[in-house]
Structure 1
Amino acid sequence: MSLILTFLGKGGSGRTTIAIAAAKKLASLGKRVLLAVQDTVAINLLLETPVTSEVQQIDTNLDAVHLKTSALLERNWEEVKKLEAQYLRTPVIKDVYGQELVVLPGMDKALELNALREYDASGKYDAIVYDGSGDASTLRMLGMPESLSWYSRRFGKLITESDLVKTVSPFLQPLIATVFNVSWTGDNFAAPTNQATNILEQGKAALADPKRLLAYLVTTDNPLNIATATYLWGSAQQVGLNVGGVLFNQTDSTPTTEDFSPLPISTIPSSPIGNWQPLIDALPDFTQNTEVPKPIEFDVVNRQVKLFLPGFDKKQVKLTQSGPEVTIEAGDQRRNIFLPPGLSGRTVNGAKFQQGYLIITL
């Protein structure tokens, strides 16, 4: 399993430069590193070598790949065609190519997340540095396992228990058995579902583990950049992503802002293209265990749920409950929390903000 490292911050704050320096630093420590990038314009200029959709070695212990949507779509579309050929007597999409498909909104992020999952599962890398957009769309991508798991629970149960499905099932079973040329048993269709559920659970577990997935905020001393980084910090907590620290880029003095307490702060000096060592030396040790505020804590004794939501106040948060599930909306992020044993069955009595924490009392 790899450490997946990513950076959050406003465009122009230097995220891509720091991502490259971080990848180079990890590689210099003997780690097998993959630098996975969403956009190659700045990367190609900074690395002085083109990064393509095929993994290529760019330095000792360091590979790079462009997560190009069309290439990822084509690769995954081939897998879909293989699956169709396995189950259908007469495949109907065998002559359809990935480039001919319309990419739905969010499809590019889903493909990037799946690519990261596959590179992680390959066992080839000790660390994957992901240089994405570094904004709310990156957080939505990393939060997909939680979101999809929620939709699966809600709508999967709704569909399977609906009167319509129960009514038409006796007619559909022999039809599907004939069309797909398979015997109708629960195992035929449970296996892919179980596999997808397992992938989602693995993704949720990785997201919650700072040893597996960790983000750093990147900002300059510009107030707008600081405000954006603070907002992204709180949004990261909403999706369950741990933030390990703050990197003040192109700063020669020690920042005095309290906006990021208790995160550790590193100052990163500006450096000319090609001279990476000053940046590498200024970066923190990403391999060390980082003490970070936990995004969520359950206190059964005091009947409380604590969420760390820096950058937000009570007016920006909406709280609703449906049975054992509590939903917190903050900014454009939404988090659904299942209450653990000991708190399940209780209703929300109140909520307050205290030292950056939203404390929900049950």
Structure 2
Amino acid sequence: MRTLLITGPGGAGRTTIAAATALTAAREGTRTLLLGTDPTDTLGAALGTPVTGPAPTPVAPDLTVWRPDPATGFRAGLTALQDRATTALDLLGAARLDPEELTPLPGAAELALLRALRDAALADDAHELVVVDLPPSPGALALLSLPGELRRYLRRLLPPERQAARALRPVLGRLAGVPMPAEALYEAAARWDLELAATEAVVADHDTVVRLVAEPSPAGLDAVRATTLGLALHGLRTDVLVANRVFPEPTADTRLAGVVAQQRKAVDEWRESYDVRTVDHLGRDPRGTDDLAALAVPAVNTRQRTATVEWPVVDRIAEDGVLVWHIPLPGAVREDLDLIRRGDELVVTAGQFRRIVPLPSGLRRCTVSGAGLRDGELRIRFAPDPGLWPAGR
């Protein structure tokens, strides 16, 4: 199964392109699932068919659309959590919340989408392609990094190694006179970790790529540059940049001449770094499958695999006595970069984006000796720690 994540700056026609891409793939005979998160059902408006509901909605041959309901999953998850934490709630004298009074908290829609994406990947041969209409780029990057961040928080709060002492918890509970964390809590944490890992694996899979949608303009140039940096920091791949709502040339309307020239300049600049496909402006907001079919969106090759983004570690011990970690960060500015080594993790900040990454095993036995940005690539130098490095290496 191939997964296509579509994002871009807000207002660039991201949802319309996602719907048109899914419809085009379905009409070519590819079994396609289109996922969305917008609470106002913009996907349904673009397709001309409401897609709100608890289950996926077939809207055309080989095309199913689903906008997961965050309320259902939120209520079910919190009810299950209350059931597992009954002992602690009773100890505190806390009153349980009824499912009918629960309102989804911020982030519930994102979690519902990630769960749907994971379930689609686990479904055997149900779909050949999943197209995901992500939020605008800053929110999309936060959403895609959410599984990894939640796993890190979960392991910090309930370290797996502490489960080795679970046989002692009843004894400790009697000695202390208070209930100890129940076995069910650790079992739930392990289950959540597996579910988050499965979602993380879908995002990191070599058959998952990101497609950017932006209007060719000065603001679009800035937004795409920032988004590309954020994607690179998270190791995500971009297959195509869709320049949307492009006015045809030449135009008889002299009032549009300046806009056309501006768009041409932006597209030419993008073509220096991206595989750019242009989608013409229809002269109206696309509504319904006929309008979507009129948009010349780029096709999706469900059989072609995209090369993974590598962060190689280069062994230069023989020449310079160091190992060098190469991290591609196109568009990064030296003044906006920051690095912090914290235990076996490296905190990398690039502009408005930040990522905490575990160090490869060899680099954990080293100290950071320097870093530099060169040709859109961050190169971090690690010197072996004599106390940890294997003798004779």
TM-score bracket for the superposition, by shorter chain length? 0.7 to 0.9
Deviation at 1:132, TM superposition (A): 2.7
Report if the CA contact (8 A) 1:150-1:336 is conserved.
no
Aligned amino acid, residue 66 of structure 1: R
Cα distance in 2 between the residues matched to 1:357 and 1:45:
42
Cα distance in 1 between the residues matched to 2:346 and 2:170:
34
Deviation at 1:84, TM superposition (A): 7.0
Bigger mean CA deviation after superposition, 214-223 or 257-266: 257-266
Report if the CA contact (8 A) 2:324-2:380 is conserved.
yes
The counterpart of 2:276, out of the listed 265, 280, 293, is: 265
Answering whether residue 126 of structure 2 is matched by residue 122 of structure 1, we say no
Answering whether residue 220 of structure 2 is matched by residue 205 of structure 1, we say no
Relative distance call for 1:285 and 1:155 in structure 2 (3 A) is: same
Cα distance in 1 between the residues matched to 2:158 and 2:76:
28
Cα distance in 1 between the residues matched to 2:140 and 2:95:
32
Cα distance in 2 between the residues matched to 1:344 and 1:94:
46
Cα distance in 2 between the residues matched to 1:197 and 1:41:
31
Cα distance in 1 between the residues matched to 2:378 and 2:82:
47
Cα distance in 1 between the residues matched to 2:336 and 2:352:
10
Cα distance in 1 between the residues matched to 2:76 and 2:221:
39
Deviation at 1:172, TM superposition (A): 6.1
Cα distance in 2 between the residues matched to 1:27 and 1:284:
11
Aligned amino acid, residue 214 of structure 1: V
In structure 2, the partner of 1:224 is 219
Deviation at 1:270, TM superposition (A): 2.4
Aligned amino acid, residue 193 of structure 2: T
In structure 1, the partner of 2:336 is 316
Cα distance in 2 between the residues matched to 1:333 and 1:237:
10
Any residues of structure 2 matched to 1:174-185 within 5 Å, and which?
A: 176=179
In structure 1, the partner of 2:143 is 141
SS at match of 2:291: coil
In structure 2, the partner of 1:183 is none
The alignment's C-alpha RMSD in Å is: 3.6
Question: Deviations 1:228-257 (Å, cap 9, x if unpaired)?
Answer: 122111112223322222111122477644
Relative distance call for 1:200 and 1:66 in structure 2 (3 A) is: closer
- For structure 2, list consecutive stretches of 5 or more residues without a partner in the other structure: 250-263, 317-321, 383-393
May I ask how many residue pairs the two structures share in their alignment? 347
Deviation at 1:346, TM superposition (A): 1.1
Relative distance call for 1:324 and 1:95 in structure 2 (3 A) is: closer
Question: Deviations 1:43-79 (Å, cap 9, x if unpaired)?
Answer: 2332111111231110001111223332332344465
Any residues of structure 2 matched to 1:18-97 within 5 Å, and which?
A: 18-39=17-38, 40-54=40-54, 55-77=56-78, 79-80=80-81, 96-97=98-99
- For structure 1, list consecutive stretches of 5 or more residues without a partner in the other structure: 181-185
In structure 1, the partner of 2:291 is 275
Question: Deviations 1:199-246 (Å, cap 9, x if unpaired)?
Answer: 3333333222230x2211111111102211221111122233222221
Question: Deviations 1:69-107 (Å, cap 9, x if unpaired)?
Answer: 32332344465577679x999xx988711x522543333
In structure 1, the partner of 2:109 is 108
Bigger mean CA deviation after superposition, 330-339 or 213-222: 330-339
Cα distance in 2 between the residues matched to 1:352 and 1:78:
50
In structure 2, the partner of 1:244 is 239
Cα distance in 2 between the residues matched to 1:235 and 1:17:
23
Answering whether residue 173 of structure 2 is matched by residue 151 of structure 1, we say no
Cα distance in 2 between the residues matched to 1:221 and 1:114:
33
Cα distance in 2 between the residues matched to 1:357 and 1:111:
35
TM-score (norm 2): 0.75
Aligned amino acid, residue 52 of structure 1: T
Report if the CA contact (8 A) 1:266-1:284 is conserved.
no
Aligned amino acid, residue 250 of structure 1: R
Deviation at 1:328, TM superposition (A): 0.2
SS at match of 1:117: helix
In structure 2, the partner of 1:4 is 3
Cα distance in 1 between the residues matched to 2:351 and 2:303:
31
Question: Deviations 1:315-334 (Å, cap 9, x if unpaired)?
Answer: 11110002332110123332
Any residues of structure 2 matched to 1:315-354 within 5 Å, and which?
A: 315-354=335-374
Cα distance in 2 between the residues matched to 1:349 and 1:278:
56
Percent identity reads: 23
Report if the CA contact (8 A) 2:16-2:46 is conserved.
yes
Deviation at 1:288, TM superposition (A): 4.8
Report if the CA contact (8 A) 1:7-1:134 is conserved.
no
Cα distance in 2 between the residues matched to 1:176 and 1:360:
48
Aligned amino acid, residue 134 of structure 2: G
Report if the CA contact (8 A) 2:7-2:211 is conserved.
yes
Cα distance in 1 between the residues matched to 2:174 and 2:29:
57
The counterpart of 1:358, out of the listed 368, 378, 392, is: 378
Bigger mean CA deviation after superposition, 114-123 or 49-58: 114-123
Relative distance call for 1:340 and 1:29 in structure 2 (3 A) is: same
Cα distance in 1 between the residues matched to 2:61 and 2:278:
27
SS at match of 1:349: strand
Cα distance in 1 between the residues matched to 2:273 and 2:157:
39
Any residues of structure 2 matched to 1:178-197 within 5 Å, and which?
A: 190-197=186-193
